[in-house]
């Protein structure tokens, strides 16, 4: 991961992962299996205004409903980056993509 970050490759790697995950979902859908999939996103990418179009485009190309995809964000993003990421998250949600908080309870919002 550090090398990916150091060389500015997080977005291309994320695009590749999203395509691969949605390729699998499309293959399963063609077999009659409606299997939801999830992708963890690196928090700073949620400030990328082109992220919505990139995700929507991959869903369209594979003829998949947006509800099949869940974007997972870590709970620290909710507290640290929410102001900058809210717009992109809301757009994805408006498109039908699900949003989930990953690692809930391991940091800011521990329930203990």
Convert the pLDDT of each residue in 58-110 to its tens digit: 999 999 999 999 999 876 555 555 566 677 888 889 999 998 887 655 554 44
Confidence (pLDDT) at 83: 63
The model carries a pTM of: 0.79
Which one-letter DSSP state was computed for residue 89?
H
| Phi/psi of residue 71, nearest 5 degrees | -95, 120
Does residue 56 carry a pLDDT above 90?
Answer: yes
Instruction: Spell out the domain ranges in the chain.
Output: 2-102
Please report, for residues 3, 31, 61, 66, the alpha-carbon distance to residue 50 in angstroms, rounded to integers and kept in the order given: 23, 31, 16, 17
CA nearest neighbour of 40 among 92, 100, 95, 80? 100
Confidence (pLDDT) at 90: 85
Domain 2-102 has CATH 3.40.640.10: no
């Amino acid at each position: 991961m550090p090398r990916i970050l150091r060389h500015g490759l997080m977005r291309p790697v994320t695009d590749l992962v999203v395509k691969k995950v949605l390729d699998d979902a499309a293959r399963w859908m063609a077999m009659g299996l409606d299997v939801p999939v999830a992708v963890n996103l690196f928090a700073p990418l949620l400030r990328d205004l082109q992220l919505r179009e990139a995700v929507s485009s991959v869903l369209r190309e594979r003829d998949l409903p947006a509800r099949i995809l869940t974007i997972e964000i870590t709970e620290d993003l909710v507290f640290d980056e929410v102001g900058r990421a809210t717009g992109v998250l809301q757009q994805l949600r408006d498109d039908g993509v699900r949003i989930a908080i990953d690692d809930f309870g391991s940091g800011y919002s521990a329930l203990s």
